[in-house]
Amino acid sequence: MTTPAVMGVDSSTQSCKVEIRDLASGNILGSGAAPHPPAFPPCSEQHPRDWVAALVAAAGQAMAACAERPDIRAISVAAQCHGLVLLDAQGEVLRAAKLWNDTTGAPNLARLVERIGARRWVMRIGTLPTAAFTIAKLAWVAEHEPGLLDRVDTMLLPHDYLTFWLTGEKVTDRSEASGTGYFDAVEGQWIPSYLEVAAGSRDWAAKLPTVLGPTDAAGRVLPARAALLGIGDDVVVGAGGGDQHAAYLGLGLTDGDQYFSIGTSGVVATSSRGPVFDTTGAVDGVADMTGGYLPLMSTLNAARVVDRAAVLLGTDLAGISELALAAGPTQGPVLVPFLDGERTPDRPDARGAVADLTSGSTREELARAFVEGPLLSLMSGRDSLLACGVEMTGAATAVGGGARSPATLQLLADLLDDEVTVPDVDEATARGACIQAAAVASHADRAGLVDLAKRWQPDARTRVEPRSHGRDLPALRARWASLAASPLLDGGGR
C-alpha cells in the first residue's frame, strides 16, 4: 500500500524546491531542488517557463528520493511575491516576468503615489507600495511596452502562474494579492481603479484571478501535468501563497512571535488577527495564509551582503563568520547595506556605505560590519512594527540561508538581547506549502489549518543566547540610523 502524501513547492528567486510529506504525520518522505536563471536588479526578470522546468525537475527528484512511491493527494505552491506575469487569451506568457527585486518601475511608482496619495493608499490596502509591488511593474510596462497591454488577457503572480500551469485555473490567495498594490485584504476586493491610474482604462477586473480562502481548492492537476510530475491523476491543488507567508505557517508560529528571514531579501514579521496600517510606509500590512494578517518589513539586501564581503575580504562564508565573531568589544566600522538600492526604506537608487573606518580598523571589525549591517536594517524594521502597536513579545526565530552563519545568529541575539532559535527545518516555505496542501486534502477549515501547523511544528535545531559583549549597541543602532538616513547614499555610481 502506498503512503498518502502531499507535495509542497517553494518557487523562489534562486530555485524551485519541492518537499513530499506524509499526509498523516508530516514526516518528510523526499525532497528535490532545481535552479532558476540568475536575476539581479535593476532589471530583474525570469521567464515562467523556467519556473515550470525547475518544478518538473525538482518534483522528479523528490519523487525519486522517496523510499516507496507516495500517493500524492494534494499540492500547494508558494513562491516569490510581487512578480508580474502577463498572459494572452490562449494562456500563453507574453513576456518574461518582472520580479520583486526589479527596480525599473521606481519612477512609475513615485508618480502613482503622487496621484493616488500615500495616506489614502495605505489606509485602503494596509501598505504603501514600493517598486517591488506588482502595480509598479504594470505601470512600467504601460509606459515602455504599451502595445503589449492590448494583448493581455490575464495578470498573475508567480505562484498563481504555477497553479494555473497545474490546473488551468486563474486563482490566487489573500497573502499574494495583498502584495500587489491593488487589493483590499480587509474587504477581500480587488481595486481596478488603481490599475486604471497605473495603466489606463481597461476592463481590469476581468483580467484578475479569483482570490481563494486559506483552505479552498484551486482545482485538480491536469492529466498532462500529472504525467510530467510523475503523480496520479486525481490530485487537488491548494490556493498557495507567498513565500514568507508560507514559511511563517510552516514554522507553526503564532501572533506575537518574532520571525527573521535572512535570504536574498531580509524580512522581519509577526502575525496578528487585525489589520495594520502604517502611513510611514515602513510596514507592509499584508494578509497571511490563515485568514489573518502578517505585518512585515522587507529589505532588498540581506545574505548577498555577506557574499560580497567574502569576495572583498578574500575568504568564504565560513571565514567571514569566524572573522566577525573574532572582532573585539569595539564599535568598529558601520555598514549601511543598500548595495543594490533598497526596498525599505524605499530608495531604489541608494548604494551601500561603510563609515567610521580608521587606521586601526581590523579585518575582523570589517567582517562584522558586513554581517551586522543587514541585521541593523531588520532591527529598524522591528522598531517600525512596534511603533504600529504590533505585539512582538514571542520567541525570536531565524530562518533562511543567512541563518546558517554562526556570526549572524550571535549578532542578532546580541542586538535583540534575547535568545534566537533556528528551527530544525531546511525549507520552511516548502513545509508551509505542504501544511496547506494537507489541510486541503483533509477538507480542514481555517482553524484546522492552524491546528495542523502547530502539530507539525518543528523542533529547535540551534539556540543562541546573547553574549556579554561590552559594546554599546544602542549607540551603534543610533549611528547606523543616522547614516542610513543620509541623502548622500542616493545616486552613487557602481
Phi, then psi, of 240 in degrees rounded to 5: 80, -165
Give dist(CA 344, CA 121) in Å, integer: 17
**Catalytic annotation, pick one of 10, 102, 173, 243:** 243
Contacts of 37 (CB under 8 A, 6+ apart): 46, 47, 50
Give dist(CA 46, CA 48) in Å, integer: 6
Long-range contact list for 117-123, CB < 8 A, 24+ apart? 118/279, 118/281, 119/279, 121/181, 122/277, 122/278, 122/279, 122/281, 122/285, 123/277, 123/279
Whether 10 is a known active-site residue: answer: no
Using alpha carbons, select from 187, 186, 175 the residue that is nearest to residue 249.
175
**Grid cell locating 185:** 485584504
**Grid cell locating 286:** 499584508
Burial (CB count within 10 angstroms: exposed 0-12, middle 13-18, buried 19+), residue 243: buried
Return the active site residues: 243
